[in-house]
Chain A
Amino acid sequence: MKAAVLLFPGSNREGDALRALKAAGAEAAIVWHRERELPQGVDLVVLPGGFSYGDYLRCGAIAAREPIMDAVRAHAARGGLVLGICNGFQILVESGLLPGVLMRNANLRFICRMQHLSVARADTPFASHYETGQVIKVAIAHGEGNYIGDAETIARLEGEGLVAFRYCDANGAIGGTGNPNGSMNDIAGIYSERFNVLGLMPHPENLIDPLVGGTDGIGMFESLAARA
């Protein structure tokens, strides 16, 4: 598994993503946003968390229009794996690689805390080390993670089983107080139609060490690293 972590101006969890990938046994390197091509032989592109271009326009909007994103789109079109975390998810949505939008959190405040997620399906390249329905604890840290789609989009996501993770409480109860930001259908992350692109707001990359909150996040990176 060879991974490229894109570094945009204002990205700030690129190191965290790199660390998680390496901890899972993947080969990973940073790729500067001014590049126009991805390095040879890259299997996985990671768009890390942060505030690309300060999020001074809509979150992710400027990064989504950089030339390197053409290379990412081509990679995804070839079936290559793409993982967008937090700001990376926002960039994927802005670049058209995933549907819907991420609005401000329902309470209008930035939220950072540990958050439980229910794994919607485990039969994907990103979640094979989890069980379907498993409850995992990861971090969230975002101000604009309120996932919204029009009725058709939500119906398609649900109909085709493209929801990757849902917010839940510690007992796995989906919705209610377990939903931190108002996302429709408690959506925390979604797949593309071919399950090769994943965007999610939470940060599994920060939960890879028992000393630092827990290890529930490492499963995603192990799932990825186990491929090829």
Chain B
Amino acid sequence: MDFPLPLNPDPAVTTELAAAHGLKPDEYERILALIGRTPSFTELGIFSAMWNEHCSYKSSRLHLRRLPIKAPWVIQGPGENAGVIDIGDGVACIFKMESHNHPSYIEPYQGAATGVGGILRDVFTMGARPVACLNLLRFGAPDHPRTRHLVAGVTAGIGGYGNSFGVPTVGGATNFHKGYDGNILVNAMAVGVARTDEIFYAKATGVGNPIVYLGSKTGRDGIHGATMASASFEADAEEKRPTVQVGDPFTEKLLLEACLELMRTGAVIAIQDMGAAGLTSSAVEMGAKGDLGIELDLDAVPCREPGMSAYEMLLSESQERMLMVLDPGKAQEAEAVFHKWGLDFKIIGKTTANLRFVVKHRGEVKADLPIKELGDAAPLYDRPHIVSQKQPPLGAIAAPVSNAEALLRLVATPDLCSKRWIYEQYDHLILGNTAQGPGGDAAVIRIGDGPKGLALTTDVTQRYCEADPYEGGKQAVAEAWRNLTAVGALPRAATDNLNFGNPEKPEIMGQFVGCIDGIAEACRALDFPIVSGNVSLYNETSGRAIPPTPAIGGVGLLEDVSRTATLSIKRPGDAILLFGTTEGWLGQSLYLREICGREEGAPPPVDLAAEKRNGDFVRGLINNRALTAAHDISDGGLAVALAEMAIAGGIGATIETPKAIPSPNFLFGEDQARYLATAAPEKAEAIRNEATKAGVPCEIIGSTGGDALTLGDETAILLADLLQGYENWLPDYMAGGDP
């Protein structure tokens, strides 16, 4: 895709120029029919910004409607800057997850940094003070020549932005797979809190109210960023570096403080951050949502450099900017707040009654378009999709190595090893509320001075989604729900970040539709609505799509942040309890992939009723302080979960392996709806009896103690050996060692 340099006069608009803007011939026809004339160059830019996949959701909208988005505690579902839930005592939790995949592949530091900046703005635009960030990262195979560079750059970028801005980055999930070699995923989630009666929305009201530009100046960076995010990569991805924005967390911190101070003055009628497609998208969304027109005079826009055209100003994705509709009576007060923080505050337009988006520049009308149609009449596609073919279940397998050897190897694999090298570059302790930081099932942060807390997690198991999109979609939600439960939190709502390949291919669209249906089913069954989200399509390079990766960001509530659980073994002599049914499902497991070298089979099915029953029971035990540790069983199965608990606590354990199931299946199977826990030995029997009464499978499988893990009849594995592999893989790799 080549864009002409800004010229004066503007170039003539042709079908070819429209195609270069990512508009398909039928989409261009639609524009001609809509406005009854050839659009101006500026108008073409506006259409390309509003009608690209990233902004219009034209391939996904139809299917997103099937997601459950309501619950009595949901204050705002999808469609605003972020989702809002009521967490009691007049406090709301505001959160969203968003991708910055393409920019991060091209320029990892700035791509990741501005991803964090963008999602933080989405949250504080609504009046919330950000209290935590998380992320979900997917990199290519460790031996791919770019992977090390991308891990280093993305990690530094996330840290560089969040640390300076002053929000703790408390959790995340990082995986490696060759399916992401040419297209990594960087999904960032931000969480904020606000008073329920002090939430701000994007919907403009009142005719003739001033439109105010806030924050940083507009430059030529990021032009067509959203359009780039809506196209597949070819081998020339590097050449798109100029479309990546540059982040300034210092200004964002000032913008946060200035916005929150401004909101307290009562001057804000509506507010919207300038994210993808910048000024265009924010202005159109505010007007369209409020059934009002917007008239902008670009001569007033604060610019970083002279001579910027209307086209450039409208499409710039310069960061750290906001647009708001101002109560005209409070203009002076509002301006004083922004000047105190050293930020730009310029009235650049007004709301109008005529439902037009009018843009003036240097005395000329550069655009005059129907505002509702820019948003509402964006193309909506029911793209053809074919249901993904199911993989046959895996048969019996022959264990290539001993279980002890397998476990030692598994904890030292890229997906299961400690991510300390990454998360120690994130300030996860700032604000002084991090009760559980990275490394556990879910992060836990205290809200204000307590006693309430929020549990936060990001999850998806893409290999399950690839093998069976429907079960994989269910599992992503169940896994997030289970991780929140494992720290004692009641899961309340989720945000989704749906990362897929090119939706114009029926098999990719089939993955998308399957995952959506699975997510919807699980969210309904678990009372866990989706309140915000983001769709990232065209994650392909040279025709090769990423594995379907519908990331779920979960939020749970702890009524008392002290009634939580951590995964570490606390003391010798505790009983080890296993909750849930273990059949020994090795299809699509990490054991199969890493130890047997096979990526096959159907993924473990998710029984949502069992998920809920088991989870509710375990949460009750945690909240009653009946457990000394709790951990969700997921990637790598029971043995890996036990190893993680032992490593975290520095205390070993001994468990029995039942004779009814082959021991590799028992130890490494990834059956769902399971938890591993420890409890005082004298309480274990009573817990098991209570579980049985509640219909929750529960067995006492061993006890804690010693400096080794003993799995049934196998040779004991020294904790020191486990720890070494677990902690060293990532630092050794990043230091340049052989993967």
Contact = CB atoms under 8 A, between A and B. Distances in A.
B431 A16 contact: yes
A111 B163 CA distance: 10
Contacts of B431: 15-16
A206 B432 contact: yes
Contacts, number: 87
A171 to B, nearest CB: 14
B250 A56 contact: yes
Contacts of B156: 109-110
Interface string B244-280: 0000111101100000000000000000000000000
Interface stretch (A73-81, A151-159, A189-197, A208-216): A208-216
Contacts of A109: 156, 424-425
Given A110-B425, A211-B446, A51 B432 contact: no
Contacts of B423: 112
A209 B453 CA distance: 14
A67 interface: no
B249 A51 contact: yes
B430 A16 contact: yes
Interface string B386-428: 0000000000000000000000000000000000000111111
A120 to B, nearest CB: 23
Contacts of B435: 211-212
A16 B427 CA distance: 14
B158 to A, nearest CB: 10
Contacts of A19: 432
A50 interface: yes
Contacts of B429: 112, 139, 141, 203, 206, 213
B450 interface: yes
Interface in B445-480: 446, 450
B165 interface: yes
A54 B250 contact: yes
B342 interface: yes
Given A112-B427, A113-B424, A206-B432, A12 B165 contact: yes
A205 B562 contact: no
A50 B162 CA distance: 11
B706 interface: no
Interface in A108-150: 109-113, 139, 141, 143
A110 B159 contact: yes
B427 A212 contact: no
Interface in A67-113: 109-113
B432 A209 contact: yes
Nearest to A139: B429
B305 to A, nearest CB: 19
Of the four ranges (under 10, 10 to 19, 20 to 34, 35 or more), the interface on chain B belongs to 20 to 34
A161 interface: no
Interface residues of A, number: 31
A54 B253 CA distance: 9
A39 interface: no
B502 interface: no
Given A141-B163, A211-B446, A10 B250 contact: yes
Contact of A212 (B160, B164, B432): B432
A168 B555 CA distance: 37
Contacts of A20: 432
A213 B424 CA distance: 15
A105 to B, nearest CB: 10
A12 B165 CA distance: 7
B166 interface: yes
A174 B342 CA distance: 44
B433 A212 contact: yes
B137 interface: no
Contacts of A50: 164, 166
A10 B425 contact: no
B254 A112 contact: no
A161 B435 CA distance: 36
B617 interface: no
A112 B253 contact: no
Contacts of B253: 9-10, 12, 51
21 contacts: A9-B250, A9-B253, A12-B165, A13-B166, A13-B430, A50-B166, A51-B253, A54-B164, A54-B249, A55-B164, A110-B426, A112-B426, A143-B163, A208-B432, A209-B432, A211-B450, A211-B562, A212-B432, A212-B434, A212-B435, A213-B434
Given A205-B432, A211-B450, 15 more contacts: A10-B250, A10-B253, A12-B166, A12-B253, A12-B430, A16-B432, A109-B424, A109-B425, A110-B427, A112-B423, A112-B424, A141-B163, A206-B430, A209-B432, A212-B446
Interface of A: 9-10, 12-13, 15-16, 19-20, 49-51, 53-56, 109-113, 139, 141, 143, 203, 205-206, 208-209, 211-213
Interface of B: 156, 159-160, 163-166, 248-251, 253-254, 341-342, 423-435, 446, 450, 561-562
